[in-house]
């Protein structure tokens, strides 16, 4: 199916060539923005706005995207000069490029501002794994009465996919059964972090990340236990043995993919 604008005003062969040129470019723009999003999602497990933003800037570089679009624009202009409808196509291309940039921008904003973890669950298999995992970790918490397990699994799963904060999940937990705020917080922190950590692990595995960097939560309630590991680079195989976050009660550490490896993957 042909996509993009149509040019019925032009003679058929010209219109077809235009249409094909535009389709090719739109495809390139779309795949470019998808790759960009993939990389953002990849590092988005922590749901930390600043980090996701600086990640986007450092690795993907909005200027880099703009450069790519500029190149595409030039390519299309070369085609249209050849077939002699320069002005018409130039305008269309600019609009298409602007739209693609806008799409990328709004996608980034959506991912950054309103965490939507369904984006980083690539398929049902990972959903299933996550829910099963939540069920397993919930059942290990001795203080949760058994009759509330299923309701909790549902609530935690929903909170994780909606990108809720620890505090909001803790509130939801207290609405299910009577427990202290501190205890609900502890459960919320552990469950959300464990879920994100597992999804991250799966994502890294999928795209072949071999090395990760350990990051402690950067605020006044840092993980004292994990502090010595902050910024340390680990082989994934080693973490598989030593354990991913959360490593202890109230651990809010995360791991991110090794920057150099990500860059290599992005280059391909």
Regarding 97 and contact with Zn ion (CB under 5 A), the answer is: no
217 binds Zn ion (CB under 5 A): no
- 200 membership: H or E segment, kind and range: helix 181-207
Whether the bond into 42 is cis, omega within 30 of 0 = no
Q: Does 251 bind Zn ion (CB under 5 A)?
A: yes
Nearer Cβ to Zn ion (29/48): 48
- From the CB of 214, what's the least distance to Zn ion, in Å? 8
Q: Using an 8 Å Cβ cutoff, are 134 and 195 in contact?
A: yes
How many residues interact with Zn ion (rule CB under 5 A)?
4
- CB of 253 within 8 A of CB of 245? yes
Q: Which is nearer to Zn ion, 104 or 215 (CB)?
A: 215
Instruction: Select the span of 85-93, 148-156, 192-200, 217-225 touching Zn ion (CB under 5 A).
Output: 217-225
Nearer to Zn ion, 13 or 231 (CB): 231
Residue among 12 and 249 whose Cβ is closer to Zn ion: 249
Q: Which is nearer to Zn ion, 57 or 165 (CB)?
A: 165
Judged by CB under 5 A, the stretch of 62-70, 160-168, 185-193, 215-223 that binds Zn ion is: 215-223
- State which residue, 99 or 227, has the beta carbon closest to Zn ion: 227
By CB under 5 A, tell whether 229 contacts Zn ion: no
Among residues 119 and 225, whose Cβ is nearest to Zn ion? 225
Rounded (10°) angle between helices 12-42 and 259-267: 170
Among the listed residues 226, 236, 255, 256, the single contact to Zn ion using CB under 5 A: 226
Taking the C-alpha atoms of residue 207 and residue 43, their distance in angstroms, rounded to an integer, is 12
- Residue of 22, 199, 223, 256 interacting with Zn ion (CB under 5 A): 223
Whole-number Å distance between alpha carbons of 10 and 264: 43
Going residue by residue from 126 to 145, which x/- string records binding to Zn ion, judged by CB under 5 A? --------------------
Element (H, E) at 63: helix 62-83
The 149-168 site mask, x for binding Zn ion (CB under 5 A), equals --------------------
Q: What is the dihedral of CA 142, 144, 148, 149, to 10 degrees?
A: -50
Binds Zn ion (CB under 5 A): choice among 253, 255, 256, 257: 253
**Tokens representing 135?**
């069920």
Say if strands 211-215 and 233-235 run parallel, antiparallel, or are unpaired: antiparallel
DSSP string covering 134-171, please?
HHHHHHH-TTS-GGGHHHHHHHHHHHHHHT--HHHHHH
Nearest alpha-carbon partner for 192 in 164, 233, 230: 164
- Binding part of the chain for Zn ion, among 24-32, 43-51, 166-174, 218-226 by CB under 5 A, reads 218-226
Residues that bind Zn ion (CB under 5 A): 223, 226, 251, 253
């Amino acid at each position: 199916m042909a996509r993009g604008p149509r040019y019925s005003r032009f003679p058929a062969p010209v219109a077809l060539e235009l249409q094909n040129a535009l389709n090719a470019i739109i495809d390139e723009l779309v795949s470019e923005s998808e790759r960009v999003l993939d990389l953002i999602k990849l590092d988005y497990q922590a749901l930390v706005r600043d980090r996701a933003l600086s990640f986007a800037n450092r690795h993907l570089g909005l200027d880099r995207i703009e450069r790519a679009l500029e190149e595409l624009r030039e390519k299309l202009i070369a085609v249209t000069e050849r077939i002699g409808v320069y002005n018409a196509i130039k305008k269309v291309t600019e609009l298409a490029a602007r739209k693609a940039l806008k799409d990328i921008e709004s996608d980034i904003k959506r991912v950054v501002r309103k965490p939507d973890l369904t984006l980083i669950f690539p398929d049902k298999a990972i959903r299933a794994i996550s829910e099963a995992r939540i069920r397993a970790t919930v059942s290990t918490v001795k203080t949760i009465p058994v009759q509330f397990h299923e309701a909790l699994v549902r609530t935690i799963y929903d909170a994780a996919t909606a990108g809720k904060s620890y505090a909001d999940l803790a509130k939801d937990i207290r609405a299910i059964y009577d427990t202290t705020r501190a205890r609900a917080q502890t459960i919320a922190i552990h469950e959300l972090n464990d879920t994100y950590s597992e999804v991250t692990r799966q994502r890294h595995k999928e795209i072949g990340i071999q090395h990760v960097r350990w990051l402690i939560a950067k605020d006044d309630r840092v993980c004292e236990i994990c502090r010595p590991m902050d910024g340390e680079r680990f082989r994934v195989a080693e973490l598989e043995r030593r354990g991913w976050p959360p490593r202890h009660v109230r651990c809010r550490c995360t791991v991110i993919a090794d920057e150099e490896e990500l860059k290599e993957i992005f280059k391909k």
